[in-house]
A = this chain, B = another copy of it.
Amino acid sequence: MDLYEYQGKELFRQVGIPVADGRLATTPEEARSAAAELGGRVVVKAQVLTGGRGKAGGIKLAADADEAEVYAREILGLDIRGHVVRRLWIEQASDIEREYYLSLTFDRGEKKPLYMFTTQGGMDIEQVAQKSPGALVRLHVDPLEGFNPWQARRLVYGAGVTEASEQKQIASIVGKLHDAFVRFDAMLCEINPLIVTPTGEVKALDSKFTVDDNALYRHAEVAEMRDLDATDPLEALAREKHVTYVKLDGEVGVLGNGAGLSMSTVDVVTFAGGRPANFCDLGGGGDAQGVVDALEVITRDPQVRAIFFNIFGGITRCDEVARGILQALGEMSLELPIVVRLDGTNAEEGRRILAEAAAANLRVSPTMLEAAKRAVELAA
């Protein structure tokens, strides 16, 4: 789960990482009063779960509350890479002397948290890594031993920070970032830029914070931060129905059982020349109601013109799936063409059930590849 800048900063604040004072605003009026409360110059920042806000006009420096309101009006509703701005973060403006970069990420390859730090902040870290790899200090943390202060020194001295007070402040932030990472089950904690002000203060000017979905059960306060308005409405419906669903941009609705097979099904549709409308995983033990729920989500997408049901029965029984399909047809008066491929546990029984129902829009195909081709044709 990705957090907004202001949410990540709230978590930073909780572990003691210095951030500028700010307020959330969802209307120009709120932006005005937030700016008035904060006093002085403020930055009006679009809260969107994507990068490139600055270039897209989503960040503006306002001299006073009036200007903050004007900018808020401009930014709210802006579409930034497909994300509509609904929230603003109004923050006291910070003077910037230098921009650094600090992150702690979950390194799957090494199975360890990985620190990255460079004094070349403010830009994309992948660029820094490519252009001047020597400027980027990387350091893993042992998951059992955890953080020790030498690691902060290694980053700070390794990157060539020379001013003693800066060294000390950054070292402290490095340790606190680890606190945040562990305490909130983060997959990513990024501060870019980590700024030094002209008076030598170090603080986090931005935050990128991703929390492990599997760990949300032990972080109720973070789980509540999820912005349901920002997620795709179909994906929100899917979440509600406990259906694993990812919206894609085509016409062939896809339903499989198991993540790997479902991904493979999406691929096969593509290879057959079609465009999948979604990824949808019925899960390992799908029952009839699961099938109904999944079909409801898939067919809510108006782009869908045909549906491909690809089931390999294991724990999932094909007869149960067949019954679910018929139940859904009955309840939803579906008229879209549906191609079904059943194999594995009770596949014959499943096929027999579908054949007996003799629904006009239902076709059964013997193999995955053939079924995919059929579905692509029907969606054309």
- What's the tally of chain A residues with a CB closer than 8 Å to chain B? 2
Distance between A147 CB and nearest chain B CB, rounded to angstroms: 13
* Chain B residue nearest to A143 in the complex (CB): B144
Task: Give chain B residues whose Cβ lies under 8 Å from the Cβ of A144.
Answer: 144-145
Q: Which residues of B contact A145 (CB under 8 A)?
A: 144
Copies in the complex: 2
Complex Cα–Cα for A144 and B141 (A): 13
In the complex, which residue of chain B has the Cβ closest to the Cβ of A142? Answer: B144
Complexed CA–CA distance, A302 and B231 (Å): 85
Q: Roughly how many angstroms separate A144 CA and B145 CA in the complex, as a whole number?
A: 6
Bound Cα distance A145, B145 (Å): 8
Map CB proximity to B onto A126-150 as digits: 1 under 8 Å, 0 otherwise.
0000000000000000001100000
Write the chain B residue with the least CB distance to A145. Answer: B144
CA distance in complex: A144, B146 (Å): 9
In the complex, how many angstroms separate the beta carbon of A112 from the nearest chain B beta carbon? 14
Interface positions of A from 144 to 197, Cβ below 8 Å from B: 144-145
Complex formed: what's the CA distance from A281 to B145 in Å? 36
- Give Cα distance in the complex from A145 to B144, angstroms: 6
Q: Mark contacts of A249-261 with chain B using CB atoms, 8 A cut-off: 1 yes-contact digit, 0 otherwise.
A: 0000000000000
**Chain B: which residue is nearest A146 at the CB level?**
B144
- For the complex formed, measure the closest distance between the CB of A148 and the CB atoms of chain B, giving whole angstroms: 12
Q: Bound state CA distance, A144 and B144, in angstroms?
A: 6
Least CB distance, A250 to chain B, in whole angstroms: 47
Shortest Cβ gap from A218 to chain B (Å): 14
Listed A/B pairs (2) with beta-carbon separation below 8 Å? A144-B144, A144-B145
List chain A positions with a Cβ less than 8 A from chain B: 144-145
User: Lowest 2 CB-CB distances: which A-B pairs, in order?
Assistant: A144-B144, A144-B145
